């Protein structure tokens, strides 16, 4: 068996994993060979309501890391360590969990606040399910900062949100916008 993970190169987060039996993908395999056009992540937004947050295959990459059984239970808790100009490192990184993530909708943005100040520029990628559409919100938290405002306007209600902050476990959750 060969472990393959699909990850978001923008932040390094693993978003899916598969153990392939009798299949060997080429080193330059596209994520679409494993996920099709997109990889849908789902989150409950209320009683019987589910938001789908699809990650486009073109925004994902494939990596064959060393065996890591925990990646199947919680892929967002693992990261691929990318090396500029080379293949990613073989071992997956277990990312520190982000207890009680501080995600709040303001008048015109999703505010992501970390529990600490970052020391290096830190990429952030958020997806917000708004009805049938999904808003993709990229950004970076600058050194010395602990938050970022990602521009999106939503009305009062529940929204499915995926937040990937480089170096921290990914968060897939429901976020309420107050009236």
| Structure confidence by residue, pLDDT tens digits, 44-96 | 998 888 999 999 999 999 999 999 989 999 999 999 999 888 889 999 999 99
Residue with tokens 């486009």: 56
Domain-embedded: residue 142: yes
Q: Which domain holds residue 139?
A: 102-177
Tell me, what's the pLDDT at 25? Answer: 81
Domain-embedded: residue 47: no
pTM: 0.93
Please check whether residues 124 and 83 belong to one and the same domain.
no
Please check whether residues 6 and 83 belong to one and the same domain.
yes
Domain-embedded: residue 30: yes
How far apart CA 86 and CA 68 sit, in angstroms, is 21
Question: Count of domains in the chain?
Answer: 2
Domain-embedded: residue 141: yes
The structure tokens listed for 98 are 């982000």
Please check whether residues 77 and 157 belong to one and the same domain.
no
* Predicted confidence (pLDDT) per residue in 1-43, tens digit: 789 999 999 999 999 999 888 878 877 789 998 899 999 999 9
Domain-embedded: residue 156: yes
Domain-embedded: residue 49: no
Please check whether residues 171 and 136 belong to one and the same domain.
yes
């Amino acid at each position: 068996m060969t472990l393959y993970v699909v990850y978001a190169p923008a932040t390094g987060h693993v978003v899916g994993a598969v153990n392939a039996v009798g299949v060997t993908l080429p080193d330059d395999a596209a994520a679409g060979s494993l996920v099709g056009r997109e990889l849908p992540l789902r989150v409950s937004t209320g009683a019987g309501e589910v938001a789908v947050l699809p990650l486009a295959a073109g925004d994902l990459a494939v990596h064959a890391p060393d065996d890591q059984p925990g990646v199947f239970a919680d892929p967002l808790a693992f990261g691929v360590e990318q090396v500029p100009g080379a293949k990613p490192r073989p071992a997956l990184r277990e990312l520190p969990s982000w207890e009680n993530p501080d995600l709040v909708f303001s008048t015109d943005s999703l505010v992501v606040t970390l529990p600490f100040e970052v020391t290096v520029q830190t990429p952030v990628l958020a997806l917000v399910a708004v009805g049938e559409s999904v808003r993709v919100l990229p950004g970076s938290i600058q050194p010395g900062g602990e938050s970022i405002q990602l521009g999106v306007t939503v009305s009062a209600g529940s929204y499915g949100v995926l937040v990937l902050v480089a170096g921290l476990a990914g968060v897939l959750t429901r976020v309420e916008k107050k009236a």
